Amino acid sequence: MAERTPLYGRHLAAGARMVEFAGWEMPLQYTSVREEQQAVRAGAGLFDVSHMGRFDVLGSGAGAFLQRLVTNDLSRLTSSRAQYDLSCRPDAGIVDDLVVYRLEGEWRVVGNAANRGKDLEWMRAHAPAGVEVVDRTEELSLIALQGPSARTLLPAGDVEPGSLPRFGVARTAVAGVEVLISRTGYTGEDGFELFVAAARAAQVWDALVEAGARPCGLAARDVCRLEAGLRLYGHDMDETTNPYEVGLGWVVKLDKGPFLGREALRRIRDRGPARNLIGLIARDRIVPRAGAIVRREERSIGSVTSGTYSFWLGAGIGMALVEAGTAPVGARVELDLAGRRGSAEVVPLPFYRGTVPSGTRPGASPGPGRVVRPQPGAGAAPGITAEEDDTRGGALLHRDP
């Protein structure tokens, strides 16, 4: 039986369409994907992301252990800051993508919901004596407030949300409830994620809705993350891909010292990856979908890993993993969706740059959202109605957005 987050009752009361996702009953959408995405891009959207795995890593050797487990350099991380990381196998395959938080006296790790059991087993298998990995998923809820209005809507007690740097962390109170907030998210917009005791999550959710945030489902979150060029574990990356193939080489710090996968990653960097993750924008009446074959000059060169129709950009967009060097930016490729064909242009990622603060310094201001690539036109997805596309919005969400 699927698990339910502490906010399950709030989702039902708001009329959410619930689906089973990574072992949890989660809201796919409340109204339409278009309306919910509009809220995130122009105002503030509210997401229940309590299905994500949350782990505390305790002990005097916790920091050193995590430094050997992830590819990024945690020695750069000061207290009350977070960092995007990857955990890799010895052969460089990606175990999961993570956010690591350095708190006062402890460390916290957040991973994908579908990988919760795997992540826990992986960390415990590599933890030395004296380091304990505790699964906090059941006792801590996680709420994401995302959008250009997030910092003005968040009633964060004695902390000014806008003063937090990107990936900054602070303890404060919302609606009289103690929370840990971080200036992080997965939509391409400015925003915050709030850790709150499960028993008090509904109180915080209600306060944010009352302040003007709009509840949004996983479908809108997936569209937003794809527009922002953010990778999705289980689609754009997994244990058969390495960071360099999916454009995450910047998360790998080979010179920081020993860590799992380091030697394999060094070899891949030196010789170059065999595949590349590319951005695609449809130029015909077609919507890229995961699994579609990508062809160039009548030869199959790879497949679409993520795809959808973006109402905000007015086009079908997607990412694809293809043979290295076969699809440079500006090239035209053909997509084959179970016999239905159409053309797409290879474009740089991301498709859209949102209001994420431009720097990590305290007080960094979010900039205006902008479309990175000219789009062929706005409106409903080609060949289907807006209502039909809203229904399909999360149909391919097999793993975490």
Q: Which of 177, 168, 249, 248 is nearest to 208 (CA)?
A: 177
The pLDDT-based confidence of 397 (bands split at 50, 70, 90) is very low
Tell me the three state secondary structure of residue 126: helix
Please give the average per-residue pLDDT across 271-295, as a whole number: 96
pLDDT at 368: 53
The better pLDDT of the pair 189, 384 is held by 189
Chain segment 16-60, per-residue pLDDT in tens: 999 999 999 999 999 999 999 999 999 999 999 999 999 999 999
Distance CA 344, CA 280 (A): 6
Q: Taking the domains of the chain in order of start, what are their residue ranges? A: 265-392
Pick the CATH number of 265-392 from 2.40.110.10, 1.10.1040.10, 2.40.30.110, 3.40.50.11720: 2.40.30.110
Chain segment 231-242, per-residue pLDDT in tens: 999 999 999 999
Q: Which residues of 343-353 are buried (b: 16+ CB within 10 A; e: fewer)?
A: ebbbbebbbbb
CB atoms within 10 A of CB 274: 12
Q: Which of 33, 149, 55 is nearest to 103 (CA)?
A: 55
Structure tokens at 130: 């004296």
- Residue 279 confidence (pLDDT) above 70: yes
Burial of 387 (0-12, 13-18, 19+ CB in 10 A): exposed
Distance CA 111, CA 299 (A): 37
Q: Edge to edge, what strands does the sheet with 177-182 contain?
A: 169-174, 177-182, 191-197, 140-146, 45-48, 214-215
The pLDDT-based confidence of 386 (bands split at 50, 70, 90) is very low
- Percentage of the chain lying above the pLDDT 90 cut: 84
pLDDT at 134: 98
Q: Taking CA 127 as the corner, what is the angle to CA 241 and CA 81, rounded to the nearest 5 degrees?
A: 75
Contact between 296 and 345 under an 8 Å Cβ cutoff? The reply is no
pLDDT at 68: 98
- Residue 339 confidence (pLDDT) above 90: no
Please give the average per-residue pLDDT across 346-352, as a whole number: 97
pLDDT at 105: 87
pLDDT at 372: 57
Contact between 204 and 174 under an 8 Å Cβ cutoff? The reply is yes
Task: Return the half-sphere exposure (C-beta side, CA atoms, 13 A cut-off) of residue 278.
Answer: 28
Please give the average per-residue pLDDT across 137-145, as a whole number: 98
pLDDT at 196: 98
Structure tokens at 400: 């975490």
Chain segment 251-260, per-residue pLDDT in tens: 999 999 999 9
Please give the average per-residue pLDDT across 263-272, as a whole number: 98
340 backbone dihedrals φ, ψ, rounded to 5°: -90, 125
Q: Which of 319, 351, 396 is nearest to 41 (CA)?
A: 351
Please give the average per-residue pLDDT across 286-296, as a whole number: 96
- Percentage of the chain lying above the pLDDT 70 cut: 89
pLDDT at 256: 98
pLDDT at 367: 53
pLDDT at 385: 34
Q: Which of 324, 306, 326 is nearest to 394 (CA)?
A: 306
Chain segment 76-123, per-residue pLDDT in tens: 999 999 999 999 999 999 999 999 999 998 999 999 999 999 999 999
Mean pLDDT of the chain: 90
E-strand stretches of 63-176: 81-88, 94-103, 106-111, 132-135, 140-146, 169-174
- Residue 215 confidence (pLDDT) above 50: yes
Please give the average per-residue pLDDT across 303-325, as a whole number: 96
